[in-house]
């Protein structure tokens, strides 16, 4: 009995010390995930490459072979073309990518998700995208002056109808 | 590799011994890691259920409800929250040491592969449960966890739209995501519980509760620390900013910083490689097992003692296949038998007094049979007697402090391999004046139950009982690990001196009259196979 009291006291102190160490490391020490005086710019969107360049009209014979409810006039490749994206900050291109379509058959949209750390302050940001390989230049271009604060999360998104949006 | 493991083992054993005087060997937390894991799991589960009463899911509701829990309700729900968090962290610490310890003690290979392999998914389930739990708080840490985890998952080519897009702006975040997280935070631990149950399927008498004293100490420590240093939320999540400085839970999320430092492909490849390695470790290299125990039907009466004592569910009782007048017989599954020999020690036919020249028992180890043991015992008995009355014969487990050859020492696979009648035999035949049983350390037996079963047999609490006529004072039990090798000779010498002081052993008849000692080592009394042992 005496030794059990001894174990309860000493074992209890050791258990408490170990639990306190575990509790400390459950929230400390702090971790800095990004440098000071920087902001995070994320360029993220999904967009399907324009496959119209691969489309052609079906001939009358081809249409006649199809059931009446499936007689679409045009036939296109299932696979979509890649999209090409550029991001320039203060006139300097810092990110370029030719993003292939997603999916096993390449029929899904191209996905863009890029994290870029920028110093705080004023910047001129230009984002450009070409979604049809048959065209020259860019199909979508947007330039914006932004004032980044420390630890700010700045997002560039895209909607086909409205183009690039800045959040 | 074996030399490295042996060095680790001695180191681990030495480290564990530090806790023996503090807790007592039976309460030593390092000898109860599996049980502690279960205990902490249940604390986390019960506190989680209680927290769910007060917790709200939703973009703003989640954080607000946890502030309420840790604020107004600090003395019960706040305490529960802290217990939930710290018990989860403690569970991970316990689990990691448990994994390392099983590797060090070489209890993951050969026929023990099953427990190891079924433990690997539990490792990942524990982490997944912790990660989804932190997500629910929806503070800065939760935001960091959410974005980092989803960006990491998006590196896999499975998702049509990046999941991380859910956390781009405040407008994009949906409360439905929290509902999904709550579901995952409940479903994953349920799957884990299933795996934990499977994890124990190939061991018998699995202990899922730590000793009561250790349970109380752990719970009291958790409660005290929870009140003194309560778990708190960090600043609320704000998707318009980046959580740049976070109070990280280094135990659950300690590898998260790597996710933003190393390319996702490197991390995924590492995770896959580590998982494959963990699954494959039992075969890298495979252990060459000793041959499994074999049943001799002529000596098996279907008593089931071997089934009751086998630590690894390797023996079952099946319908009799011979003409013997017994209903059942023991059947050994060679894929589960680790050749510990505890079954041999349990068999009532394991009687060295039998006059058979080639002693065969009901269940025996081919590589270390009862006949071999008796032969070795008799060989020691054939040595010249010094007349001092201090001769000690030692049966030493090959995993304990007596794992090296020495004069008068007989090595066994497990101390539970020694049938109690062998002790009677040694003294009755005047082979020694006393017997030392050197097993594994008391806190932890290499074959799980060897020490416990041996103690119970000697104390006449478990079949087969040690006969009353064997004087307890002529038995020395030494429960010590391999790091205490140096102490064993001293303990035996001390015991030898005590024996000398007692004088020579005089065998007594059932009525207590002294009987003359046999003068030769020739087999004396004959005990028929299947004869009941004990008094």
B residues 104..163 contacting A (CB < 8 A): 144, 151, 154, 157, 160-162
Chain A CA closest to residue B151? A113
CB of B426 less than 8 A from some CB of A: no
Quote the pLDDT of residue B287: 85
Residue B509 within any structural domain of the chain: no
Quote the pLDDT of residue B18: 93
B510 pLDDT more than 90: no
Partner residue facing A153 (CB), from B165, B242, B260: B242
The verdict on a CB contact (< 8 Å) between A32 and B244 is: yes
**Is B339 found in the same domain as B250?**
no
CB count, 10 Å around CB of A153? 24
* B147-161, B441-455, B484-498: segment of lowest average pLDDT: B147-161
* A9-18, B37-46, B502-511: segment of lowest average pLDDT: B502-511
User: Which of A86, A93, A81, A98 has the alpha carbon at shortest distance from A132?
Assistant: A81
**Is B348 found in the same domain as B201?**
no
- Domain range for residue B120? 32-283
Mark which of B230, B249, B283 sits at the end of a domain: B283
Mark which of B260, B283, B306 sits at the end of a domain: B283
Quote the pLDDT of residue B159: 80
Partner residue facing B27 (CB), from A11, A26, A40: A11
pLDDT level of residue B534 (50, 70, 90 thresholds): very low
Chain B CA closest to residue A23? B86
Residue B121 within any structural domain of the chain: yes
Partner residue facing B213 (CB), from A4, A33, A34: A4
Residue B42 within any structural domain of the chain: yes
pLDDT level of residue B172 (50, 70, 90 thresholds): confident
Quote the pLDDT of residue B5: 83
**Is B301 found in the same domain as B266?**
no
Please state the separation of Cα A7 from the chain's center in Å. 57
The verdict on a CB contact (< 8 Å) between B168 and A28 is: no
Quote the pLDDT of residue B509: 52
Q: How many domains does chain B have?
A: 2
Q: Dump pLDDT digits (tens) for B347-359.
A: 999 999 998 889 9
The residues spanned by each domain of chain A are 1-31, 38-52+80-166
Residue B77 within any structural domain of the chain: yes
pLDDT level of residue B531 (50, 70, 90 thresholds): very low
Quote the pLDDT of residue B519: 35
Mean pLDDT of B90-108: 95
In angstroms, the CA A131 to CA A110 distance is: 10
Mean pLDDT of B503-511: 65
Mean pLDDT of B323-330: 93
Chain A CA closest to residue B242? A151
Q: Dump pLDDT digits (tens) for B218-245.
A: 999 999 999 999 999 999 999 999 999 9
Q: Dump pLDDT digits (tens) for B368-378.
A: 999 999 999 99
Cα dihedral B293, B297, B302, B308 in deg (nearest 10) = 0
B506 pLDDT more than 80: no
Contacts of A150 in chain B (CB under 8 A): 244
How much is the mean pLDDT over chain B? 90
Q: Dump pLDDT digits (tens) for A13-22.
A: 999 999 999 9
Quote the pLDDT of residue B512: 46
In angstroms, the CA B195 to CA B516 distance is: 60
Which alpha helices (H) appear in B56-174, and where do they start and end?
61-70, 79-104, 113-137, 140-154
Gap from A14 CA to chain B (nearest CA, Å): 8
DSSP per-residue letters across B313-355: S-EEEEE--SSSS-SEEEEE-TTT-----HHHHH-TT--TTS-
Chain B CA closest to residue A37? B244
Rounded to 5 degrees, φ, ψ at B507 are: -65, 135
Residue B445 within any structural domain of the chain: yes
B520 pLDDT more than 50: no
CB of B260 less than 8 A from some CB of A: yes
B251 pLDDT more than 50: yes
Gap from B272 CA to chain A (nearest CA, Å): 22
Mean pLDDT of B446-459: 95
Chain A CA closest to residue B255? A31
- Look up residue B373 and give its two tokens: 């043991």
**Is B430 found in the same domain as B386?**
yes
Quick check: ipTM above 0.85? yes
Partner residue facing B86 (CB), from A8, A22, A46: A22
In angstroms, the CA B48 to CA B165 distance is: 29
Residue B530 within any structural domain of the chain: no
Q: Dump pLDDT digits (tens) for B125-138.
A: 999 999 999 999 99
In angstroms, the CA B535 to CA B525 distance is: 15
The verdict on a CB contact (< 8 Å) between A15 and B218 is: yes
The verdict on a CB contact (< 8 Å) between A46 and B161 is: yes
**Is B301 found in the same domain as B256?**
no
The list of chain A residues with pLDDT below 50 reads none
Quote the pLDDT of residue B530: 39
- Chains A and B form CB pairs within 8 A to the count of 147
Q: Taking a C-beta distance cutoff of 8 angstroms, is the pair B439, B451 a contact? A: yes
Residue B11 within any structural domain of the chain: no
b/e string for A63-96 if b means 16 or more Cβ within 10 A?
Answer: eeeeeeeeeeeeeeeebbbbbbbbbbbeeeeeee
Looking at per-residue confidence, does B199 or B506 come out higher?
Answer: B199
**Is B320 found in the same domain as B360?**
yes
Mean pLDDT of B286-298: 93
Contacts of B215 in chain A (CB under 8 A): none
The verdict on a CB contact (< 8 Å) between A24 and B22 is: no
Quote the pLDDT of residue B42: 98
Q: 3-state SS of chain A: helix, strand, coil percent to 5?
A: 20, 45, 35
Q: Could you tell me which residues come within 8 angstroms of residue B244 by beta carbon, excluding any fewer than 6 positions away? A: A32, A33, A34, A36, A150, A151
Residue B251 within any structural domain of the chain: yes
Percent of chain B with pLDDT over 90: 77
Partner residue facing A26 (CB), from B23, B160, B251: B251
B140 pLDDT more than 90: yes
B533 pLDDT more than 80: no
Contacts of B228 in chain A (CB under 8 A): 20
CATH value at residue B139 = 1.20.810.10
CB of B241 less than 8 A from some CB of A: yes
Partner residue facing B241 (CB), from A46, A102, A151: A151
B523 pLDDT more than 80: no
DSSP per-residue letters across B407-422: TTEEEES-GGGS-HHH
In angstroms, the CA B430 to CA B391 distance is: 10
Quote the pLDDT of residue B508: 60
Long-range contacts for A103-106 (Cβ within 8 Å, ≥24 apart)? A103/B160, A105/A78, A105/A79, A106/A78, A106/A79, A106/A80
Q: Domain A38-52+80-166 maps to which CATH number in 1.10.10, 1.10.150, 2.60.120, 2.60.40?
A: 2.60.40
pLDDT level of residue B383 (50, 70, 90 thresholds): low
Gap from B284 CA to chain A (nearest CA, Å): 33
Contacts of B225 in chain A (CB under 8 A): 16, 19-20, 23
* B451-460, B468-477, B521-530: segment of lowest average pLDDT: B521-530
Chain A CA closest to residue B238? A153
B residues 33..92 contacting A (CB < 8 A): 82, 85-86, 89-90
Quote the pLDDT of residue A35: 92
* B262-266, B323-327, B422-426, B514-518: segment of lowest average pLDDT: B514-518
Partner residue facing B213 (CB), from A8, A32, A103: A8
Percent of chain B with pLDDT over 70: 94
Interface with chain B: mutation pick from A11, A25, A150, highest number of B CBs within 10 Å = A11
B514 pLDDT more than 80: no
């Amino acid at each position: 009995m005496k030794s059990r009291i001894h174990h309860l006291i000493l074992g209890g102190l050791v258990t408490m010390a170990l639990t306190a160490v575990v509790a400390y490391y459950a929230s400390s020490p702090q971790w800095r995930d990004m440098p000071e005086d920087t902001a995070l710019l994320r360029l993220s969107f999904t967009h399907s490459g324009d496959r119209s360049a691969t489309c052609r009209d079906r001939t009358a014979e081809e249409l006649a072979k199809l059931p009446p409810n499936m007689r679409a006039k045009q036939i296109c490749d299932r696979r979509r073309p890649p999209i090409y994206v550029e991001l320039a900050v203060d006139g300097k291109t810092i990110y370029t990518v030719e993003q292939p379509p997603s999916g096993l058959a390449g029929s899904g949209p191209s996905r863009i998700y890029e994290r870029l750390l920028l110093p705080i302050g004023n910047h001129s940001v230009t984002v450009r995208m070409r979604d049809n390989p048959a065209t020259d230049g860019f199909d979508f271009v947007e330039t914006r002056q932004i004032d980044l604060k420390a630890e700010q999360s700045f997002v560039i998104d895209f909607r086909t109808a409205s183009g690039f949006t800045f959040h | 590799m074996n030399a490295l493991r042996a060095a680790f083992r001695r180191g681990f054993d030495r480290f564990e011994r530090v806790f023996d005087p503090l807790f007592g060997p039976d309460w030593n937390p390092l000898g109860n890691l599996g049980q502690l894991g279960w205990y902490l799991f249940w604390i986390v589960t019960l506190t989680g259920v209680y927290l769910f009463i007060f917790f709200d899911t939703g973009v703003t509701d989640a954080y607000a409800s946890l502030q309420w829990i840790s604020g107004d309700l600090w003395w019960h729900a706040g305490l529960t929250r802290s217990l939930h968090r710290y018990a989860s962290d403690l569970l991970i610490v316990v689990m990691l040491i448990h994994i390392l310890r099983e590797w060090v003690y070489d209890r993951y290979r050969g026929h023990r592969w099953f427990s190891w392999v079924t433990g690997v998914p539990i490792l990942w389930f524990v982490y997944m449960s912790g990660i989804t739990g932190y997500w629910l708080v929806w503070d800065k840490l939760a935001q960091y966890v959410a974005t980092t985890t989803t960006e990491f998952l998006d590196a896999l080519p499975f998702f049509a739209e990046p999941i991380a897009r859910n956390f781009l702006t405040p407008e994009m975040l949906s409360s439905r995501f929290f509902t999904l997280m709550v579901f995952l935070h409940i479903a994953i631990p349920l799957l884990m519980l299933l795996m934990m149950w499977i994890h124990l399927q190939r061991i018998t008498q699995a202990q899922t509760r730590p000793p009561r004293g250790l349970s109380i100490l752990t719970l009291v420590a958790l409660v005290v620390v929870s009140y003194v240093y309560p778990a708190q939320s960090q600043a609320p999540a704000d998707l318009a900013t980046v959580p740049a400085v976070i109070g990280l839970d280094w135990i659950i999320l300690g590898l998260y910083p790597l996710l933003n430092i190393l390319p996702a492909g490197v991390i995924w490849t590492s995770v896959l490689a580590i998982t494959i390695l963990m699954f494959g470790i039992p075969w890298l290299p495979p252990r060459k097992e000793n041959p499994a125990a074999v049943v001799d039907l002529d000596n098996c009466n279907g008593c089931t003692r071997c089934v009751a004592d086998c630590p690894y569910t390797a023996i079952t009782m099946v319908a009799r296949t011979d003409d013997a007048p017994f209903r059942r017989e023991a059947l050994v599954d060679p894929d589960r038998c680790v050749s510990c020999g505890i079954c041999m020690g349990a068999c009532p036919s394991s009687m060295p007094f039998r006059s058979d020249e080639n002693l065969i028992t009901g269940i025996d180890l081919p590589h270390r049979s009862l006949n071999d043991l008796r032969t070795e015992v008799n060989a020691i008995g054939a040595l010249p007697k010094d007349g001092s009355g201090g001769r000690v014969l030692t049966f030493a487990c090959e995993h304990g402090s007596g794992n090296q050859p020495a004069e008068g020492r007989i090595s066994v696979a497990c101390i539970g391999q020694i049938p109690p009648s062998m002790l009677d035999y040694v003294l009755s035949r005047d082979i020694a004046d006393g017997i030392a049983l050197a097993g594994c350390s008391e806190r932890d037996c290499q074959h799980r139950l060897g020490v416990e079963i041996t103690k119970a047999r000697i104390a006449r609490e478990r079949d087969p009982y040690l006969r009353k006529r064997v004087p307890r004072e002529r038995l020395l039990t030494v429960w010590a690990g391999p790091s205490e090798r140096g102490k064993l000779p001293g303990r035996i010498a001390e015991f030898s001196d005590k024996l000398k002081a007692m004088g020579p052993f005089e065998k007594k008849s059932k009525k207590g009259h002294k009987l003359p000692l046999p003068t030769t080592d020739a087999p004396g009394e004959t005990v028929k196979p299947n004869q009941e042992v004990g008094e």
